[in-house]
């Protein structure tokens, strides 16, 4: 088979891993970034699907237990149709395509149709579930063999192909989709000679913030699963290694394990905050209260950027401003050389980092990351008569420009981007608030506070802890009757995350 190119239609069967985008392979992410069309399973993480280009067609084809499903034959037809239309077609399959994922059937259909394809392996559910439960599938002293077993065979098969006598002799057994048939499976294993006191673990929602591990013995596992209401998706691990969960479990020890945090930042900015919270075990729900949009007209900004080299200072009060300015410079055919001797001031480390990603080093970053502190620093660093370009949000207050102008500077205050309130909050966020499932809500500016209450005017936050990135945001919350549980200094995302974690640890 010749190597396919992106213009000629071909299919890439990508193992999406157990859910989180962090467990998708780099190879899988590469092909996903080039996709013209993506067909994805139900359990594939939303953040994985979002790695596809915005222009990519997205088609959900996942199986839903007890609900409507796209027949496998139709999935095969769609893959062939989309590939023949041209471009990269990515089939995102939970876990690994060739482990209980019907990837083999799809590859057979593509081969029979003469459609070029390739396979990208993924982290299969049993490996991920065991790792996140602190259960080694193999162990030099107690487990030298491991088997992956389906707990849900093809219903059209006349007889089971599972040899329980052989399975009973394998050190570690990992049953996929095994909760529904757990009682029958345990009975057959014990009848084949496996001891009833064999340690058994049920890992529900593995690798997600909702992960739960329930332990039992082989003889009691079905009763425990019913009593604890263990539901799919779950992996059943049978073997002496399951007893190590109590000593090696690490997820539950993370400071934000079991906590749900709502993030109100604009979606484009939320990734770092969500990532840091997730690393500490939190379930993160994005509830963006701001959308970042270009100015209604680029005329004024373009005019200033074409002669930006005539300025003494360019002042950026947010990462959004830094991105907007240098993206617009590029659109006008310029690069960093257009700045010449212009000095650059940034309100804080996040803005400085956004500049550094464009090979621009900020000349001035105040110790306190507020516009007031930045204004004070500029008044100390810039001479009277200095020509200053402020490139910021359309909603930026006039105080900064007025103070600089009052000190004798020539100030041009232009809109680099607009901050717009979305039409509504995501359903997932509203449901979490109404059901009392949200533990924390983060606010990174006064605008996020005002927009949140405009979008959810009757929401009671008395049972939710609010975290504010700085004193101005905290004061805006207090004006709304909410006393922030955390206000951080320095006013950075990392400090905000650390403040929430410290508050949880101190409980």
Positions marked active-site: 41, 63
- In sequence order, the β-bridge partners of residue 417 are 393
DSSP string over 239-292 = SGGGGGHHHH--GGGSTTTT-EEEE-S-TTTHHHHHHHHHHTT-EEEE----EE
Strand ranges (DSSP E) for 318-403? 343-346, 387-393
Place of tokens 């709502």: 262
Distance, CA of 152 to CA of 185 (rounded, Å): 10
Distance, CA of 333 to CA of 306 (rounded, Å): 10
Place of tokens 């949140």: 452
**CB contact set of 85 (below 8 Å; sequence gap of 6+):** 9, 37
Residue among 208, 259, 209, 250 at smallest CA distance from 504: 259
**CB contact set of 86 (below 8 Å; sequence gap of 6+):** 7, 8, 9, 36
Distance, CA of 483 to CA of 435 (rounded, Å): 21
Cβ neighbourhood burial of 171 (10 Å; 0-12, 13-18, 19+)? middle
Distance, CA of 221 to CA of 183 (rounded, Å): 8
For residue 236, report the phi and psi dihedrals to the nearest 5 degrees.
Answer: -105, 120
Rg of the chain (C-alpha set):
28
Under 8 Å between Cβ of 404 and 374: no
Q: Which helix (H) or strand (E) holds 33?
A: helix 26-33
**CB contact set of 430 (below 8 Å; sequence gap of 6+):** 456
Judged by DSSP in three states, 418 sits in strand
- In sequence order, the β-bridge partners of residue 313 are 343, 388
For residue 489, report the phi and psi dihedrals to the nearest 5 degrees.
Answer: -145, 120
Distance, CA of 174 to CA of 150 (rounded, Å): 8
Question: What Å distances lie between residue 490 and 368, 375, 472, 496, CA to CA?
Answer: 7, 17, 13, 9
Residue among 353, 351, 355, 318 at smallest CA distance from 336: 355
């Amino acid at each position: 088979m010749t190597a396919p190119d992106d213009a000629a239609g071909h299919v890439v069967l990508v193992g999406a891993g157990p859910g989180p985008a962090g467990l998708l392979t780099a190879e899988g992410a590469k092909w996903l970034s080039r996709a013209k069309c993506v067909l994805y399973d139900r359990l594939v993480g939303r953040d994985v699907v979002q790695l596809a280009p915005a222009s990519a067609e997205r088609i959900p084809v996942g199986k839903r237990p007890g609900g409507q499903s796209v027949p496998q034959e139709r999935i095969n037809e769609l893959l062939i149709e989309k590939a023949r239309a041209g471009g990269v077609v990515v089939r995102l399959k939970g876990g690994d395509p060739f482990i209980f994922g019907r990837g083999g059937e799809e590859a057979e259909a593509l081969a029979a149709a003469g459609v070029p394809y390739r396979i990208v392996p993924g982290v299969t559910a049993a490996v991920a579930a065991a790792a996140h439960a602190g259960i080694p599938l193999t162990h030099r002293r107690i487990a030298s063999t491991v088997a992956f077993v389906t707990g849900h065979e093809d219903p059209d098969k006349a007889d089971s192909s599972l040899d329980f006598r052989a399975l009973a002799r394998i050190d570690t057994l990992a049953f996929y989709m095994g909760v529904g048939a757990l009682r029958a499976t345990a009975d057959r294993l014990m009848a084949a000679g496996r001891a009833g006191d064999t340690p058994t673990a049920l890992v529900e929602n593995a690798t997600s913030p909702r992960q739960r591990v329930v332990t039992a013995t082989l003889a009691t596992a079905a009763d425990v699963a019913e009593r604890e209401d263990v539901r799919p998706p779950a992996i059943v691990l049978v073997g002496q290694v399951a007893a190590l969960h109590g000593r090696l479990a690490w997820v539950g020890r993370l400071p934000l394990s079991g906590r749900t945090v709502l993030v109100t930042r604009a979606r484009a900015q939320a990734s770092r905050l969500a990532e840091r919270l997730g690393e500490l075990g939190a379930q993160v729900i994005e509830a963006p209260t701001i959308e970042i949009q270009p100015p209604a007209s680029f005329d004024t900004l373009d005019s200033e950027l074409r002669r930006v080299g005539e300025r003494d200072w360019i002042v950026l009060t947010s990462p959004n401003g830094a991105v907007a300015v240098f993206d617009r410079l590029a659109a006008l055919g310029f690069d960093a050389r257009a700045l010449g001797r212009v000095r650059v001031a940034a309100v804080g480390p996040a803005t400085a980092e956004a500049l550094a990603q464009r090979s621009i080093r900020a000349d001035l970053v105040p110790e306190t990351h507020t516009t007031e502190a930045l204004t004070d620093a500029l008044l100390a660093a810039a001479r009277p008569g200095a020509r200053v370009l402020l490139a910021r949000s359309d909603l930026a207050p006039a105080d900064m420009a007025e103070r600089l102008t009052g000190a004798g500077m020539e100030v041009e205050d232009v809109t680099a981007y607009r901050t717009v309130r979305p039409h509504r909050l995501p359903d997932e966020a509203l449901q979490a608030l109404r059901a009392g499932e949200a533990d924390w809500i983060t606010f990174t500016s006064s605008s996020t506070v005002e927009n949140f209450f405009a979008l959810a005017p009757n929401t009671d936050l008395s049972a939710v802890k609010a975290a504010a990135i700085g004193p101005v945001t905290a004061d805006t919350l207090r004006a709304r009757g909410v006393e922030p549980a955390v206000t951080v200094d320095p006013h950075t995302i990392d400090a905000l995350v650390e403040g929430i974690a410290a508050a949880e640890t101190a409980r």
